[in-house]
Amino acid sequence: MKSGLTRRELLRLTGATAAMVPLFQGSGARAEPPSGLRRLVIMCWPNGVNAREFWPSSGAGADYYGPLSGMPVMPTVIKPIFDAGVESHVLIPRNVINAAGREDPRAPTGHECYLHLLSGVVSAAGGGGGARSAGGPSVDQFIASKLPAVTTFRSLQFGNFTLSLPFCCATWRGVDAPQYPESRPERLYEALFGGGKSRDLLLTLRQRKLSILDAVHRELASKAPRLASTDRVRLEEHLDAVRQLERELDPQNLPSPQCTDGAKEVEGQFIEAKRFDEHYHLIHKLQAKLLLFSLKCGLTQVASYQFMDAHMEYFTVHPGSPFSQELKLLGGDTGDSDMNGHYHIAHFGSTPGNVANYAVKNALDAWHVKQFAEFVKELRSTPEGAGTMLDSTVVVLINQFNNGGSHYIEPSPLLIAGSGGGLFKPGQVVNCKRQPLNKLYVSLCHAMGLTSIDSFGTDKYGRGVLEGVS
């Protein structure tokens, strides 16, 4: 059983009823995010990049290191950073290695490495010789579990066409305990902003759900201790999920009218995600808005956004798609038309000689970098305190492969925006000399104020923060 009282129980004990809650809280509850909160946003997209279109080069075949503004050649995939005008806020740490990925049972050629991309440690192999879970909590979940619970949501997971379980997903609370992303904006709109319902209605509905969760909570808590230890962990994880739900439904945590009004612009735009080419970018628009609003409203400090599944096979040519020009190249070429899923595009698109796929793969990668850059631009243009939201936010964009064709994982394609309180020096391309992702994740812990963390996932690849980037 739980020890201590939840806010809800406290409310009950003090004699407050549902109808009284708004009074109890005061009308301005949650109008402003708690000040001084640091934020972390991790975005992942799968299936690698074409190295020469992503990594800055000197133009003569050598790698380029130095200020982003001084690059002699503009790689097509990172050009959107410049288009958005945020190049002075972005760090490109090159030669950071997914050291855990090398120990993946299928390393480094398997899609399973998506599972432990953010956990820095591999799990034992499942059936078929591949991993079936992250080897530990992903960095976002680790941080979320360590931060004082001052926001309604410990963390938020946004997804877009993240379908095939468990291989779709990089966010884990622990081994065999996924924290799956939510791909349906309408569900997030409901959970985060009340789905446009009136406060009275929301209060009633939440009271109802909480009453049901009380029963679930009680029974999970009574059953778990009797189970064998391995099974007990699973019920405890379930209970943890219920606690997160209780927190999000707590009447105290109703979003403020300012927040719900702001988020209203997503209404009426929900669609069923059926066809990737037609719906992917539309769902993204909604997810990106909801993500931004939730940070503005102080709903969470830690968020992730997982762009599609590593096994996407959903492309067909569609005129409404932002990739239609490139996809038409494929449709017109029977010989190449085998590659009409992102997975295949990545496989075949890693050789410049394969003109159509190469173009599509670059367009897709550039599109994802663009979404990152636009998001950074939004943070940069939103005033907060004496500066902007970007001042207290770190945004990471990462891919699980370097080369989508061969599935080779080294080094990890990586962009970081925000300085993390001086841990990252933006506007540079830096040679990280094969430091492990684990050290980047220690840096992220420090950026979020968890400065006593010295190693992440495992210390066998190295300890301490990522060096040479500040």
Site residues for other proteins, window 227-266 (CB under 8 A)? 227-235, 237-238, 241-242, 244-245
> Binder to other proteins among 57, 204, 324, 470 (CB under 8 A)?
204
Q: Does 456 bind other proteins (CB under 8 A)?
A: no
Q: Are strands 414-417 and 393-399 parallel, antiparallel or unpaired?
A: antiparallel
Q: Which long-range contacts (CB under 8 A, 24 or more apart) does 354-362 make?
A: 355/329, 356/326, 356/329, 356/330, 357/330, 358/50, 359/326, 359/329, 360/323, 360/326, 360/327, 360/329, 360/330, 361/49, 361/50, 361/404, 362/50, 362/53, 362/76, 362/77
Q: What whole-number distance in Å separates Cα of residue 287 and Cα of residue 285?
A: 6
183 vs 392, beta carbon nearer other proteins:
183
Give the phi and the psi of residue 417 in degrees, each rounded to 5: -115, 145
> Binder to other proteins among 151, 287, 300, 340 (CB under 8 A)?
340
The helices-and-strands tally (H runs, E runs) of the chain is 14, 12
Q: Does 128 bind other proteins (CB under 8 A)?
A: yes
Q: Which stretch binds other proteins (CB under 8 A): 73-81, 206-214, 419-427, 458-466?
A: 206-214
Least distance to other proteins, CB of residue 59, Å: 27
Q: Does 191 bind other proteins (CB under 8 A)?
A: yes
31 vs 125, beta carbon nearer other proteins:
125
Do 342 and 364 contact (CB within 8 A), yes or no? yes
Q: Strands, E, within 36-171: which ranges?
A: 39-45, 66-67, 90-97, 156-160
Least distance to other proteins, CB of residue 451, Å: 28
Q: Report in angstroms the alpha-carbon separations of 442 from 16, 108, 449, 459.
A: 43, 23, 11, 11
Q: Report in angstroms the alpha-carbon separations of 443 from 12, 63, 251.
A: 42, 25, 35
Do 255 and 194 contact (CB within 8 A), yes or no? yes
Q: Does 51 bind other proteins (CB under 8 A)?
A: no
2 vs 218, beta carbon nearer other proteins:
218
Q: Which stretch binds other proteins (CB under 8 A): 128-136, 383-391, 415-423, 457-465?
A: 128-136
Q: What whole-number distance in Å separates Cα of residue 407 and Cα of residue 251?
A: 47
Q: Does 182 bind other proteins (CB under 8 A)?
A: yes
> Binder to other proteins among 132, 146, 281, 328 (CB under 8 A)?
132
Q: Does 106 bind other proteins (CB under 8 A)?
A: yes
234 vs 385, beta carbon nearer other proteins:
234
Q: Which stretch binds other proteins (CB under 8 A): 33-41, 108-116, 256-264, 375-383?
A: 108-116
Binding mask 10-39 for other proteins (x = CB under 8 A): --x----xxx--------------------
Q: Does 222 bind other proteins (CB under 8 A)?
A: yes
Q: Does 79 bind other proteins (CB under 8 A)?
A: no
Termini Cα distance of the chain: 46
Q: Does 1 bind other proteins (CB under 8 A)?
A: no
By rule CB under 8 A, what count of residues binds other proteins? 87
Q: Does 301 bind other proteins (CB under 8 A)?
A: no
Q: Does 352 bind other proteins (CB under 8 A)?
A: no
86 vs 345, beta carbon nearer other proteins:
345
Q: Which stretch binds other proteins (CB under 8 A): 45-53, 107-115, 392-400, 459-467?
A: 107-115
Q: What whole-number distance in Å separates Cα of residue 252 and Cα of residue 256?
A: 10
Q: Strands, E, within 25-155: which ranges?
A: 39-45, 66-67, 90-97
